[in-house]
Amino acid sequence: MAGVRRDGSLMREKGGHSFRGSRIAAAVAIGVLLGCVCAFAFPNGFFSPAPSIRNRRPSKSDLEIDLSSCESSEKISMLKTDIMRVTGKNAELKKQVRDLTEKLRLAEQGKGPAQEQYVVSGKQPKAGPFGTVKSLRTLPTVLPDESVNPRLAKLLEKVAVRKELIVALANSNVQSMLEVWYTSIKKVGIPNYLVVALDDGIANLCQSNTVPFYKRDPDEGIDSVAKTGTNHAVSGLKFRILREFLQLGYSVLLSDVDIVYLQNPFDHLHRDSDVESMSDGHNNMTAYGYNDVFDEPAMGWARYAHTMRIWVYNSGFFYIRPTIPSIELLDRVAERLSRPTPAWDQAVFNEELFFPSHPGYIGLHAAKRTLDMYLFMNSKVLFKAVRKDANLKKLMPVIVHVNYHPDKLPRMKAVVEFYVNGKKDALDPFPDGSEW
């Protein structure tokens, strides 16, 4: 009996487990089936956003609405103001950093006795292919320093055009020539010119004729020469006075007063050198340079020696840029002219420009250009060649400088008559050279 019951109980227990397993399997199958149906019917889920919202991207107007809801217009204005203030302050700080860096550079360079100043042009370059290598032609200008002469700085801001102007020094000894000088400038319509009045008479003349002028503060060393000095003595002053113009960052076309202006010279400059000057030469060879062969028969086979020749630059008309070599040139010339031994400023000017470095001497590293001798014409070219040539007489010079002749005023007036008033025989009465 006991065995029978045990078997029967076991049979019922196995049957119950089997029935419950079938129900669980059925429930799982039904769940999977419902899941498949829901996934097919609702691919984006039960709680996905509406199609119109889901598919539409936020527009600029939505962003602007959101922005306006978050920030008021007053707060936006305050933020803009803060940004502008910070930007301005940043620019000011950058300028201060540049100024301090430049002062530090100059101070460090000034430690040596020669106070050499170098210009760093950037990374070391590699040489390009044959025929493509070109050296730096135009040096950068100096950092302007208005503290040198604040009064002159304010005047130059009004007179100069694109940071350049014509400058002439004059005292009452040259008043008549000065009148022809500034009248020709006005006739051409050149606005950027300035007379450095060396005495009260010239200051009054300029003021009464609406001529821009500048009278320096009293300087005993300069005034004694300026008021009573000869033309050569006054010419020596210009190198000292001119330095301030360059320190203030201005390019200057330095002009003597024995010059007639027929065109605007600023339209004919190249501005690729430290100094551009008219020449005292009278043809292509003498003005621009040539190979001159020196013959010394005593040397036999080596009797012929080649030399390079060029006629001097005229220190009464040159364009000078505010660069370190230019300022060094002015310093060198002014220092030599201040020595007790008399020296001619034009000779010293050319020696400093052209003499190379050699034992006991360091040459000036300045770039120079000779101006076109028919545009920037000296009086030897005019009276010896141009007036006698039918084709050359048709040319219109930029300026004529009466530098080769002592009878300056009548020749200046004749130049005006010939080129401005069209009087064809105005130049004829004068000899080629000078009659002592």
Q: How confident is the model over 140-195, as pLDDT tens digits?
A: 999 999 999 999 999 999 999 999 999 999 999 999 999 999 999 999 999 999 99
Mean pLDDT, residues 381-403 taken together: 97
Instruction: Decide: residue 418, CB within 10 A, 0-12 exposed, 13-18 middle, 19+ buried.
Output: buried
pLDDT of residue 82: 79
**pLDDT higher than threshold 50 for residue 75:** yes
Which of 237, 238, 182 has the alpha carbon at shortest distance from 211?
182
Distance CA 47, CA 56 (A): 18
What three-state secondary structure class fits 383? helix
**pLDDT higher than threshold 90 for residue 242:** yes
pLDDT of residue 116: 45
Question: How many other CB atoms are found less than 10 A from the CB of residue 427?
Answer: 19
pLDDT of residue 63: 43
pLDDT of residue 81: 79
The alpha helices in 191-298, defined as continuous H runs, are: 200-208, 220-228, 231-247, 284-288
Residue 171 near residue 199, CB atoms below 8 Å: yes
pLDDT of residue 435: 76
**pLDDT higher than threshold 90 for residue 363:** yes
399, HSE (Cβ side, Cα atoms, 13 Å): 34
**pLDDT higher than threshold 90 for residue 18:** no
pLDDT of residue 324: 96
Long-range Cβ pairs for the range 308-312 (8 Å, 24+): 310/279, 310/281, 310/286, 310/354, 310/370, 311/279, 311/280, 311/281, 311/282, 311/286, 311/287, 312/279, 312/280, 312/346, 312/347, 312/350
Least confident of 133-147, 210-224, 318-332, 371-385: 210-224
